[in-house]
């Protein structure tokens, strides 16, 4: 008499496969049912979300402004030093000043300062050029400082909004007849946590852009210093003279 074990096992496997297929087919419906209306949640976030929204506008404005103005062309234009050196060597300073005035970059302003004080000794010109370059770079750095403020303040505001929202949620539970309704408490906590999520959403890209612009400014500053030092050393340091040839006469 044949055993009935294998058909039962095969039937159980078929049932499992059918159940798994039904579960997979029902996932989109479950996801739609549990979908979160983020716009509505953010709209009910309270005053903290409005503050974070203002910080996000500041973040976008500063980022766009820095992308437009913190460029190599504004600090260290390519080819400027190649045009400056022949004019300086030929002592065509009137033409050189026109080229620098038309350029308008940080490097051009530093070279214009060097041209203006070209009769001064090396130490004075080097100090004046270094001070001017440092001031220009600090101005660029100061304009990006708002990104650090956004990265610091946004998560704190979000955390404050979350704490206030949690207090309000428990206050509603304490002074209502819904002690046995966990949905009411969960809804209040969910709205409160939106503040933290909004703060971090703004703070993280702001922190990233702050470090990006800081690194970009440091890179441009190093190259600016290198080109300025090369020009000062070439034009203001005495160049070593070639040793004179000595003719040695040999005795007959």
* Structural contact between residues 150 and 55, judged by C-beta atoms closer than 8 angstroms: yes
pLDDT at 10 over 70: no
- Cα-Cα-Cα-Cα torsion 10, 14, 17, 23, nearest 10 degrees, comes to -140
pLDDT at 27 over 70: no
pLDDT of residue 239: 59
pLDDT of residue 1: 43
Closest CA to 43 of 56, 33, 52: 52
Q: Which tens digit of pLDDT belongs to each residue from 151-207?
A: 999 999 999 988 888 887 777 677 666 555 666 666 667 777 888 888 999 999 999
What is the phi-psi region of residue 46: left when phi exceeds 0, alpha when psi lies from -120 to 50, beta otherwise? left
Distances in whole angstroms, Cα of residue 112 to Cα of each of 102, 105, 191 = 11, 11, 59
pLDDT of residue 195: 87
Distances in whole angstroms, Cα of residue 91 to Cα of each of 36, 49, 98, 118, 230 = 72, 62, 14, 11, 18
Residue with tokens 């008499």: 1
> What value does the mean pLDDT take over residues 59-68?
94
pLDDT of residue 210: 96
| Average pLDDT taken over every residue of the chain | 78
pLDDT of residue 30: 34
- Cα-Cα-Cα-Cα torsion 30, 36, 37, 38, nearest 10 degrees, comes to -150
> What value does the mean pLDDT take over residues 39-43?
57
- pTM value? 0.71
């Amino acid at each position: 008499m044949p055993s009935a074990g294998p058909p039962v096992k095969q039937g159980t496997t078929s049932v499992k496969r059918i159940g798994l297929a039904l579960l997979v087919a029902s996932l989109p419906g479950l996801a739609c049912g549990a979908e979160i209306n983020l716009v509505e949640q953010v709209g009910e976030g309270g005053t903290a979300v409005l503050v974070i929204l203002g910080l996000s506008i500041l973040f976008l404005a500063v980022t766009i402004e820095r992308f437009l103005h913190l460029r190599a062309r504004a600090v260290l234009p390519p080819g400027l030093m190649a045009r400056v050196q022949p004019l300086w060597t030929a002592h065509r300073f009137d033409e050189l000043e026109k080229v620098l005035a038309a350029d308008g970059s940080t490097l051009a302003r530093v070279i214009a300062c060097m041209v203006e004080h070209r009769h001064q000794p090396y130490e004075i010109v080097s100090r004046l050029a270094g001070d001017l370059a440092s001031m220009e770079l600090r101005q660029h750095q100061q304009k990006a400082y708002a990104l650090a403020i956004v990265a610091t303040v946004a998560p704190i505001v979000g955390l404050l909004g979350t704490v206030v929202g949690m207090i309000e949620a428990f206050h509603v539970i304490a002074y209502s007849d819904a002690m046995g309704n966990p949905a009411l408490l969960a809804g209040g906590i969910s709205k409160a946590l939106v503040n933290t999520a909004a703060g971090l959403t703004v703070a993280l890209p702001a922190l990233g852009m702050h470090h990006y612009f800081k690194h970009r400014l440091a890179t441009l500053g190093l190259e600016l210093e290198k080109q300025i030092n090369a020009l000062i050393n070439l034009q203001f340091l005495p160049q070593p003279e070639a040793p004179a040839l000595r003719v040695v006469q040999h005795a007959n």
